[in-house]
Each structure stands twice: as C-alpha cells, then as structure tokens.
Structure 1
Amino acid sequence: MSAKLEHKLIKNAVNGDSKAFEKLILPYEKKVYNIAMQMFKNEQDAYDAAQEVLIKVYNNLDKFKFESAFSTWLHRLAMNTCIDEYRKRKRHLEHTTTMEVKVGLDDESITRQFVDHSLTPEQEALQNETVMEVRNAMDQLKEDQKILIIYRDIYGYSYDEIAKMLECNLGTTKSRISRARQALKDIIIKKREQTAS
C-alpha cells in the first residue's frame, strides 16, 4: 500500500469511516498477532492481546502525527500493549498459585521455521531441543528485553526501525539489544550448568 493511500485511509478512519479503518489495518493484523504470539506463546492470550492492540490503534489513530511511517507507530503501540498485557497476566498468574499454567504453542509451526529437512533425525532432535531451550530462556527475560529479541532476532527489524519504535537513538537501541542478548545467553549458560551438575 502506498503512503499516500495509507494517509488517506487514516484521515478517513479518524473521521469515522470504519471501512477505511478495516482497509488500513488489514495488512498489519497478522504481524500484530505474530508479535503477540511470540510474547504469550498461546493462541488465546495472543488473540486477546492482538485485539487490544487493534482497539488501541482505533482509539488513538487521531494522535498519529504523520511524522513517522504508520507501520512504525503501529509496531510501537503493539510492542507497548503486548508488554503491558504480558505484565498484567504475569501478575495475575503469580497471585493464582493453585492454577496450573500450560505455556504451550503449536510447536509445529515454530519448529518448522528452524528445521532444515536435510538434517538427520538426531540433528533435528538436537536442533528442536535448542529451540526449546532458547524459548524457555526468553520467558525468563524482562518483558522489554524479550520484545527486543523478538523484533531484532526473530522478525529481523533493523536497528534503525527498532530505534524509531522505541523513540530513542540508535546507540541506545544497540546497547539495549546487546544487553538483552547477553541476558539471554547468561540464562542459557546458567541453566546448562544446573543441568550438568
């Protein structure tokens, strides 16, 4: 979609045109859901968070100033909403001690992204184990670190794009991502040491 058409749809949506809003948001719905899925790892929570993002986009569209790309603004909103929702659910689960939490995901789809079909079954099993190890370690990261890893290392956003989403300078963005990666590495190393002893 061209920036000109996008801007027209935004203006029409702000003026109450629901069809314009649908056209505007349609290309981004799947990406918003995928961001939420990486954060929550289960379909229902991801769906709920994605819906919350879309509601926030709708309610705050009049605040979009056309100073950045709409996609950058939307991803920043998605990132902040997912972090807020994740924290809310985490607090709720911490207070619900008797509830057994199943943190599952249709592992097939994520595993497939990492599987090279030329691998032997043993190599594939080892690779799947590594994916699970990284995924479990990511769950132990702070929410803001987790989202940085998702954006940079899973979705492949550039440092510039992430800096715009965070509204901070490039150097700060790079150092935050570096710290997030180091934290992830430390968690994995610590877990491996515990397993080995």
Structure 2
Amino acid sequence: MTKFFHFSGDEPELSQLSDEELVQKAHGELFHVARAAYEELMRRYQRTLFKVCARYLGNEVDADDVTQEVMLKVLYGLKRFEGKSKFKTWLYSIAYNECITQYRKERRKRRLLNALTLEAPEEASEEKAPKLEEKGGLDRWLAHVGPIEREILILRFVAELEFQEIADIMHMGLSATKMRYKRALDKLRDKLSGASEI
C-alpha cells in the first residue's frame, strides 16, 4: 500500500490560500525550520501527483520514488519559480519529465537484462509504453492508446489540467494537443464501443 507523507496542516488559514499565495509565502520559508506553505502545497497535490505517476509508470513502487523526487525538486526549485505559469502546470511539468526519465531507466534495465540472459528482446514491447494493470476505468482505457495520447489523457483526466497547460508541459502546440486528445478518444470509442460513454 502506498504511504503518503503526512503534513501537519496546523495553520488552517493556509488551506484557504491560492497556489500562487502559497508559493509567495513558501519563498520566505524555504530552508528555514518552518515550511508550512510548502507543506500545504504538497498536501494539496500529493495524492493526484502520485496517481499521475502511477498511471504513467504502471506500478506504485516507481510512482512512490518519482513522487518523492518531484517533491524534492519542487522544494529546491521554488526559489526559481517565477510564476510565469500556474504552479500546477509547473508541478506536473516536473512530474512528466521525471516519469519519462524513470521509464527510460527501466527500459535500459530490461535491455541489459535481456542481453545478459541472452534472450532476444521483444521488438514490439521496446516501443510500447509501460503496461498498465487491468483495473477497469481509466487504466483499462489507457492500455489501448499510444504513449503521447496516454500522457495527454492522464494530464487531462487525472491531473485535471486545461489543454493549454497540457500543451505547455508536453511542448506541443494547442491545436496538436487537442487533435491528439480527440484521436485518442476516437480510438477508445472504437475499442470500447460496448462500454459506457468516455
């Protein structure tokens, strides 16, 4: 079972602040004993962040590691965060890049293992994204689309980002992002025509 960090949340007024206000407050707190604003930001996003990583990577162990790495990067990167994008967009941009890095590491490990055991690598699986557990719901849908479409769907449905935010994170144009999203949904409707509406 995944364990989440438990942040104190002793200051009830912090939960009423916007992300931007918390970022400003965190700037004055970082690297001091009290980091209440940073903790409130992490408490606010940790569960969804973990879900995004777990769905992208396909397992909770790697998702735990990546979530913790993202939280550390946020801690040390907040001083440089200028607020040119929403905090949420910046956070999921870090998560997206960390997930890609983790996935590439795992793929290299599999290649090395195949070479050491003299097993022929499965060419088809090399280009596939991580296999997701069949749990029904979104996980079941994601297994039917390619890596880029899956990332867009995860950021849209799990992180609940706007299309422009997704486009910024993935370094794609807005129209291309929307087109990929629509194409993914069309593919899912074809595959799951007997299922309920997506």
Match of 2:143 in 1: 136
> Structure 1 residue 70: deviation in Å?
1.0
Q: Percent identity?
A: 27
Alpha-carbon shift at residue 5 of structure 1 (Å): 3.3
Which position in structure 2 is the counterpart of 1:78? 95
Q: Which of the residues 88, 91, 108 maps onto 2:105?
A: 88
Alpha carbons 1:9, 1:24 under 8 Å: kept: no
RMSD: 3.4
1:8-49 Cα offsets, whole Å, 9 max, x none, are 333124454552322221111111100011012221111111
Q: Does 1:147 align with 2:151?
A: yes
Distance in structure 2 (CA, Å) of the matches to 1:2 and 1:18: 19
Paired position in structure 1 for 2:126? none
Equivalent residues in 2 for 1:48-127, closer than 5 Å:
48-97=65-114, 105=133, 110-111=135-136, 114=137
Q: Which runs of 5+ in 1 are unaligned?
A: 115-130, 190-197
Deviation of the 1:158 alpha carbon? 2.7
Alignment correspondent of 1:46 = 63
Q: Which has the higher helix share?
A: 1
Measured at CA, do residues 69 and 45 of structure 1 come closer, stay the same or move farther in structure 2, by a change above 3 Å?
same
Any unmatched runs of 5+ in structure 2? 1-16, 120-130, 193-198
Once the two structures are superposed, what CA deviation does each residue of 1:69-96 show, in whole Å capped at 9, x if it has no partner?
2111101111111122112112212322
**Residues 159-196 of structure 1 deviation map (CA, whole Å, 9 limit, x = unaligned):** 1331343355422322343465678789x69xxxxxxx
- The 1:185–1:25 alpha-carbon spacing in structure 2 relative to 1, beyond 3 Å, is same
1:177 aligned onto 2:181: yes
